[in-house]
Amino acid sequence: MVVAGDFRNGITFEMDGQVFQIIEFQHVKPGKGAAFVRTKIKNVITGSTVERTFNPSDKFEKAQINRRDMEYLYNDGDLAYFMDTETYEQMPINISKVGDALMFVKENMVCKILSYKDNVFGIEPPMFVELEITDTEPGFKGDTATGATKPATVETGAQIKVPLFINQGDKVRIDTRTGEYLERA
């Protein structure tokens, strides 16, 4: 059982005969009245996203999600191809199903493929990845104390914010859950 007060990003649960995954959540305790949990949830079968509020004591059945390690091979138009690392079987997955999770995944990287009753609905990239900066403005010495950032493009094509001292060609470590720069690699 999953209690709404324990919601976290990525948790999947069954509600009204459907399976939902938490995309965003916020515990709200107003000055007057009872606390509640405001969420943005995604129906893993249809792909639709809705916003909904729950009482923190609401209970739901936890959905049994299959997570399988697969290696990302390549992207071909609307399909991303993954290979099972044990059977070497290739599986095409529609990019619209995986959303932004593919932004920080490069070729030959192992990801977890998420499915419910053999219906693939998403991927989980590794929590932290090291990628090379392919495009950014030149850095300046002495600009490290201000905490200012600048836009940069990584080798997968994703846009991130990096400190001013990061240059093109540098390898950086990124948190794939938030898309934030962590450190130089």
CATH number at residue 134: 2.40.50.140
Question: Of the candidates 83, 105, 124, which is a domain's last residue?
Answer: 124
| Residue 70 and residue 57 in one domain | no
Q: How many domains does the chain have?
A: 3
Question: Of the candidates 62, 83, 114, which is a domain's last residue?
Answer: 62
Residues 6+ apart with CB under 8 A from 129: 104, 105, 106, 109, 173, 174, 176
Q: Residue 83's pLDDT is what?
A: 92
Q: Retrieve residue 131's tokens.
A: 């990628």
The single residue listed with the structure tokens 């949990």 is 37
pTM of the model as a whole:
0.69
Residues 6+ apart with CB under 8 A from 4: 37, 54, 55, 56, 57, 58, 59, 60
| Residue 42 and residue 23 in one domain | yes
- Write out pLDDT tens, residues 9-50: 878 898 888 888 888 888 888 888 888 999 999 888 777 889
| Residue 114 and residue 81 in one domain | yes
- Alpha-carbon torsion, ordered 2, 5, 175, 119, to 10 deg: 30
Is the Cβ–Cβ distance between 153 and 161 less than 8 Å?
no
Beta bridge partners of 74: 81
| Residue 51 and residue 23 in one domain | yes
Task: Name the pLDDT band for 51 (thresholds 50, 70, 90).
Answer: very high
The boundaries of the domain holding residue 86 are 66-124
| Residue 71 and residue 120 in one domain | yes
Q: Residue 145's pLDDT is what?
A: 59
| Residue 72 and residue 105 in one domain | yes
